Amino acid sequence: MPLLTVERAVAGYGEMQVLRGVTLSVGEGEIVSIVGPNGAGKSTVMKLIFGLLKPWEGSITFDGRDVSGTAPEKLVRLGLSYVPQVDNVFPNLTVEENLDMGGYIRNGSLAEQKERVFELFPRLAERRKQRAGKMSGGERQMVAMGRALMLDPRLLMLDEPSAGLAPLLVDMIFDKIVEINRTGVAVLMVEQNAKKSLALANRGYVLATGQNQVDGQGRDLLENPEVARLYLGG
């Protein structure tokens, strides 16, 4: 049984509908990538899953339980973690404090988790007392992901992790995503950089105008000429 399923989700902001029936699933330990043109509703799906929006129709299931519209505070306890595309760090808090916030709901010491994050991102270890808001884009993204990993989530959701990063850093971030996945964390990511993200994904979904268009194995989608022409920007 998949870890996360979204069934025919319909949702929007205020009166404006964005999702017109989206279905997807993420299995244990998988990397799943959502790609598609701008305005397709990719970020909206993420916000919907993480309880920042309520679904108008459809359902969301995580680990066997219905979590449609459940508040983020509760989802975090179930093992779901989310990195938004923007404003994804606490700018006036240090790197270390950002990680502390990530592990907030856990009582007791967070030292072990922090060490693991610092092993994953050695750059952060050097800068643990630096304010997150003063760091470069790539470092901020690392802090953002580190924060999300503090509770050992089962599923990590990333909204455009490579956005605004230089190509070298993009590769680095994707390498890290693979590394994280190897420790058993499933990853669901929305990505503008369709090629690179589909290359490392087990499976992918192509979304456009709030609906599923194509889905399949990551590699297959990459090599599918139709998909490439319509959605991957050549």
Partner 1 sequence: MVQSTGSSSARPMERFRRAAAGRTGMLVALALVLAAIVVVAIVKGVPGTQLLSLFVRGVLLGGTLALGAIGVTLVYAVLKMANFAHGDTMTLGAYLGLVVVTLLPKGAPLAPFSFGYEFLVALLLVIPAVGLIAFGLDQLAFRPLRARRSQSIMFAMAALGLAFGIRSLVYIFWGADFTFFYTGRARPAVELFAGVRVRPDQLFILGLAVVLIVGVYLLLERTKIGKAMRATADNSDLARISGIDTKRVILWTWLIGGGLAGAGGMLYGLDVQLRPEMGWWLLLPLFAAVILGSIGNAYGALAGAFVIGIVWQMSGAFINPVYSQGIAFLVMIIVLIVRPEGLFGGRK
Partner 2 sequence: MTALHLAKAALLAVPLWLLLSSVMRFKPSWLRHLASLAVGFGAAALITLVMPTGLLSYVTTFILMACVYAVLSVGLNVQWGYTGLFNIGIAAFYAIGAFTSALVTTKMPTGLNASFTKQLFGLGMPFWVGVLAAGVVAGVLAWLVGKPTLKLRDDYLAIATIGIAELVRLFFQNERWLANGPQPLRGIPQPLSCLSGDGCGWLPGFVNSFFAPLAPRDYPYIYVAIVALVLYLIYRVLERAIRSPWGRVLRAVREEEASAAMNGKDVAAFRMQAFVVGAVIMGIGGALYAHYIVSIDYSHFDPLNGTFLVWVMLMLGGSGNNRGAILGAFVVYAIWSGTSFVVDALRPALAAISPDLPSRGPYLRLLFISILLVFIVLFKPKGIIPEEKVVSLDRDLG
Residue 92: how many other CB atoms lie within 10 Å: 10
Of the candidate spans 23-31, 38-46, 72-80, 212-220, the one that interacts with partner 2 by CB under 8 A turns out to be 38-46
* Distance from chain centroid for Cα 153: 12
The verdict on 105 binding partner 1 (CB under 8 A) reads: yes
* CB of 122 vs partner 2, minimal distance in Å: 32
* CB of 164 vs partner 1, minimal distance in Å: 17
Tell me the CA end-to-end span of the chain in Å, nearest whole number: 35
Chosen residue from 4, 45, 89, 155 binding partner 1 by CB under 8 A: 89
Please tell me the distance from the alpha carbon of residue 145 to that of residue 156, in angstroms, as a whole number.
9
Per-position x/- string for 47-86, each x denoting binding to partner 2 as judged by CB under 8 A, each - no binding: x-------------------------------------x-
Q: Which residues contact 99 (CB under 8 A, 6 or more apart)?
A: 110, 113, 114, 117, 143, 146, 147, 150
- Cα-Cα-Cα-Cα dihedral sign, residues 125, 131, 137, 141: positive
For residue 190, the 8-state DSSP code is E
Q: How many residues bind partner 2 (CB under 8 A)?
A: 16
The verdict on 54 binding partner 1 (CB under 8 A) reads: no
Judged by beta carbon, residue 77 or residue 229, the one nearer partner 1 is 77
For residue 154, the 8-state DSSP code is S
For residue 14, the 8-state DSSP code is T
The verdict on 50 binding partner 1 (CB under 8 A) reads: yes
Chosen residue from 3, 11, 31, 42 binding partner 2 by CB under 8 A: 42
Is 72 exposed, middle or buried (CB count within 10 Å of its CB: 0-12, 13-18, 19+)?
middle
**Where in 143-162 is the site for partner 1 (CB under 8 A)?**
147, 151
Chosen residue from 44, 68, 88, 162 binding partner 1 by CB under 8 A: 88
Q: β-strand 211-217 against 203-208: which pairing, if any?
A: antiparallel
Q: Which residue has the tokens 């404006």?
A: 16
Of the candidate spans 24-32, 59-67, 92-100, 170-178, the one that interacts with partner 1 by CB under 8 A turns out to be 92-100
The verdict on 84 binding partner 1 (CB under 8 A) reads: yes
Chosen residue from 6, 18, 142, 189 binding partner 2 by CB under 8 A: 18
Q: Which residues bind partner 1 (CB under 8 A)?
A: 50, 52, 71-73, 76-77, 82, 84, 87-93, 97, 100-102, 104-105, 147, 151
